[in-house]
Structure 1
């Protein structure tokens, strides 16, 4: 298969995923008419119409959707092969394609990446930050080799290994009735408004699960998209929230919050690394898994 044939397949893939022919042509550095002719020749070779016009854009036909699955697999195998050859020639290089839970981007992922690059400084990283529901799709779509997520995805095609246990603390404003306590039962705030991440975020489902185990369903006072936002709303006295990791328990002028240990339910979540079970990982990604497991092996429940 020539480089030109591969480019046509990449352009077909891009158009099938939503790019216009003009945008795909710009990516391929060819003219729009030239790409249109190439896509028509592809349809002739396959023997079926692969794209159809819907309004002002092209969308895959049923045959096109079937064909795209095989195109995705061909291009993924080719790209993996190129990476494997490059890393076989020079094993200290390569690229780690890593997607991770957005709440881990402030502490765990930077520490793992920094430590790994100290050992392998010529390895590159492609990083993708996402909510929980999108992480599995990164693996299934082969847009990432690895994901760091909370809890085992429970997918038959995915292998997951625990890295550490991340504690969850009940955050209350400093003027709260429980603020002078160090330990509380989650059930003690059953009647209070909770500040939660929006549906689809892993921390949202973990919070709802823990509240159910404590005997109540949380009353949603406010919703946000970042833990930083949750902390700000708690500091403003608008509710309570479960906050991940081990924060400094001393309040600051910007965040007058107290963090309390939960005693009636397990206030923690498992953090782990996952990959497609049947996919051969590039050497750099395999090394990163080993690195992540090694450096977190000594992390006790309750903090780094």
Structure 2
């Protein structure tokens, strides 16, 4: 069994298509097919079945994929740690983040860090609350921004970086759009544009509405702050978004109004794998930088 075979197998499993996998690997399609066939022969099992134009993992293929991904991740991390031991300034930081922090916070801190460490590379992995925790636990990232910050979790540890206020966003012509501040129950009869259930911001908004005495009527769902913001600006409903997601300007922007009673906030933290495991040197440098960066704000 060769390392190259495992790489090809993982790529085909992710793309579910030999041609697309070959294109990303920059090799001939026949080479990928040959390596997969040889791997199946050596293992004595069928890893894929044809389904239309795509390939689908068999049950044993799914089991094998989970093990191979762990092996490749550990090997990749070992190579990275070796390079970082020789020179942390040439290392790579693998960091996860939720979409809402990718608009301004992540680019800001990465740019600031690279002023002092210009040769450090970043590998970014976007995800939802649950997937980001899993990525940290599985070792797919060294660190992850997360919101809300998990105060007590048996598999990850970390630091609370900041709390951020959520604002009501309204169509520009809405009767409350010119107010300086509103109470949340003033929106109880409105249609809401909400994040899907995979996203922690949805739970924060739902809990706040419940505290205000109502259950929001959800008209539209989305998975990105840009989508939520655009739908509200187009008059499809109202929503609540973090201030950080409202810094960007575009031709179609909703009105932004502060909310009281209850004030709605979210926590943002940085997590790493628990159990006292040491971070790679370059990741530890970045962690300490982030703590100092947010403490100085």
TM-score (norm 2): 0.82
Task: Give distance in 1, aligned partners of 2:238 and 2:61.
Answer: 49
Q: 1:284 aligns with which of 282, 285, 296?
A: 282
- Counterpart of 1:270 in structure 2 is 267
Give secondary structure in 1 for the equivalent of 2:215: coil
- Do the aligned partners of 1:146 and 1:274 also contact (CA within 8 Å) in 2? yes
Give per-residue Cα distances to partners, 1:180-222, cap 9 Å, x unaligned: 5433321222122223233323322221121112111111233
Q: List gaps (5 residues or longer) in structure 2.
A: none
Task: Give distance in 2, aligned partners of 1:229 and 1:23.
Answer: 29
Distance 1:236 1:280, change over 3 A: same
- Counterpart of 2:50 in structure 1 is 54
Task: Give distance in 2, aligned partners of 1:29 and 1:180.
Answer: 55
Task: Give distance in 1, aligned partners of 2:243 and 2:144.
Answer: 19
- The offset of 1:144, in angstroms, is 3.0
Task: Give distance in 2, aligned partners of 1:237 and 1:290.
Answer: 43
Distance 1:100 1:233, change over 3 A: same
Task: Give distance in 2, aligned partners of 1:217 and 1:51.
Answer: 47
- The offset of 1:89, in angstroms, is 1.3
Pairwise mapping of residues 209-228 of structure 1 onto structure 2 (< 5 A)?
209-228=207-226
Task: Give distance in 2, aligned partners of 1:161 and 1:231.
Answer: 29
Distance 1:193 1:285, change over 3 A: same
User: How many residues align structurally?
Assistant: 293
Task: Give distance in 2, aligned partners of 1:29 and 1:253.
Answer: 40
- Counterpart of 1:101 in structure 2 is 98
- Counterpart of 2:10 in structure 1 is 13
Distance 1:34 1:244, change over 3 A: closer
- Do the aligned partners of 2:193 and 2:221 also contact (CA within 8 Å) in 1? yes
Give secondary structure in 2 for the equivalent of 1:92: helix
Q: 1:70 aligns with which of 67, 72, 75?
A: 67
Q: Which stretch of the first structure deviates more once superposed, 120-129 or 228-237?
A: 228-237
Q: Which stretch of the first structure deviates more once superposed, 289-298 or 196-205?
A: 196-205
- Counterpart of 1:297 in structure 2 is 295
- Do the aligned partners of 1:7 and 1:28 also contact (CA within 8 Å) in 2? no
Q: List gaps (5 residues or longer) in structure 1.
A: 300-304
RMSD (Å), alpha carbons: 3.3
Distance 1:221 1:67, change over 3 A: closer
Task: Give distance in 1, aligned partners of 2:251 and 2:38.
Answer: 65
- The offset of 1:142, in angstroms, is 4.4
Task: Give distance in 2, aligned partners of 1:23 and 1:245.
Answer: 39
- The offset of 1:243, in angstroms, is 2.0
Task: Give distance in 2, aligned partners of 1:52 and 1:180.
Answer: 59
- Counterpart of 2:186 in structure 1 is 188
- Do the aligned partners of 2:162 and 2:267 also contact (CA within 8 Å) in 1? yes
Task: Give distance in 2, aligned partners of 1:75 and 1:8.
Answer: 12
- Counterpart of 1:170 in structure 2 is 168
